[in-house]
């Protein structure tokens, strides 16, 4: 085996593939540079570009606003982290309730279905307004009044409905034969769900769950409409202070910088696990490894 050497034909194929790869990379670089150059030239030669440059891309204003906007972004990160944990717990409970069998569990199934239908249909900004101004209006003892807490509640209510459907899809993708085999071995329905179904379902839905986390990370900026001083509200305050829109651009750049690594990690995880084709293969009762 150690004396094996590739044939000339194999070497020629490898050389051809490498040449094609280099050619493709070169063409992609040239086309990207050309499109970028055309876009930049069209932008900088537009009549209003000098005013836009001054109003949205002032480096002095950006440096002055960066500390406050970054401080507000830290609030967004904390809200996202806490809400993500609560959303996973609530969504899993909803998914389990929707998959409960038997007529006795119908009230739970109906309630979970109604919850998912309502909060998937309501726009997030409307839920924020209803929760942010509706709950304090009840004047009940123990109702939170913090804009951050109320905004977090609205995020949990909305995103739990979406994530519950992701969990339910993963649970229902587990082939019934595996459930039957577990029950034949003497496991109860609860033990089957905990030890057989949920581990497989969770591994299958990791990529879409991470996509929802990316969306949650961005939508955490909407709590600013309730008065929370997050990155968006801090940018708004700095915009008023400097009479310049550059702080909004700073907030946007920070959000993008926070989102891109998680997005790339999600894509890499999906490719590594073969997620796009995993569900089809598992429909026949295979096991995800």
Domain boundaries, the chain: 61-275
- Residue 153's pLDDT is 95
pLDDT tens digits for 59-94?
Answer: 999 999 999 999 999 999 999 999 999 999 999 999
Q: CA-to-CA distance for 76 and 229, rounded, in angstroms?
A: 9
**Per-residue pLDDT of the chain in tens (289 residues, 90 and over written 9):** 557 787 888 888 888 899 899 999 999 999 999 999 999 898 888 888 889 889 999 999 999 999 999 999 999 999 999 999 999 999 999 999 998 888 888 999 999 999 999 999 999 999 999 999 988 888 888 888 899 999 999 999 999 999 999 999 998 888 888 888 888 888 888 888 888 888 888 888 888 888 898 899 989 999 999 988 999 999 999 999 999 999 999 999 999 998 888 888 877 877 776 654 444 333 333 333 3
The angle formed by the CA atoms of residues 215, 265 and 208, to the nearest 5 degrees, is: 45
Q: CA-to-CA distance for 17 and 27, rounded, in angstroms?
A: 15
The model carries a pTM of 0.80
Q: CA-to-CA distance for 20 and 11, rounded, in angstroms?
A: 14
Q: CA-to-CA distance for 192 and 199, rounded, in angstroms?
A: 10
Mention the CATH class of domain 61-275. mainly alpha
């Amino acid at each position: 085996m150690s004396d094996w050497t590739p044939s000339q034909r194999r070497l020629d194929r490898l050389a051809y593939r490498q040449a094609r790869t280099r050619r493709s990379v070169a063409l992609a670089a040239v086309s990207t540079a050309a499109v970028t150059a055309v876009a930049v030239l069209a932008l900088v030669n537009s009549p209003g570009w000098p005013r836009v440059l001054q109003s949205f891309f002032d480096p002095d204003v950006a440096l002055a606003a960066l500390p406050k906007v970054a401080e507000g972004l830290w609030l967004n990160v904390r809200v996202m982290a806490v809400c993500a944990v609560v959303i996973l717990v609530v969504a899993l409970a909803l998914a389990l309730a929707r998959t409960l069998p038997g007529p006795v569990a119908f009230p739970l199934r109906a309630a979970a279905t109604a919850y998912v239908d309502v909060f998937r249909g309501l726009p997030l900004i409307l839920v924020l307004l209803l929760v942010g101004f509706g709950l304090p209006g009840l004047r009940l003892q123990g109702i939170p009044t913090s804009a951050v807490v109320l905004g977090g509640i609205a995020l949990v209510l909305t995103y739990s409905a979406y994530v519950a459907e992701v969990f339910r899809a993963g649970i229902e993708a587990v082939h019934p034969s595996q459930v039957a085999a577990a029950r034949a071995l003497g496991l109860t329905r609860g033990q089957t769900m905990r030890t057989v179904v949920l581990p497989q379902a969770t591994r299958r839905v990791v990529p879409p769950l991470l996509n929802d986390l990316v969306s949650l990370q961005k939508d955490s900026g909407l709590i600013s409409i309730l008065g929370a001083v997050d990155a968006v509200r801090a940018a708004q305050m700095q915009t008023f202070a400097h009479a310049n829109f550059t702080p909004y651009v700073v907030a946007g750049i920070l959000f993008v910088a926070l989102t891109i690594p998680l997005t790339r990690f999600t894509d890499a995880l999906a490719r590594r696990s073969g997620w796009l084709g995993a569900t089809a293969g598992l429909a026949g009762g295979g096991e995800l490894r």
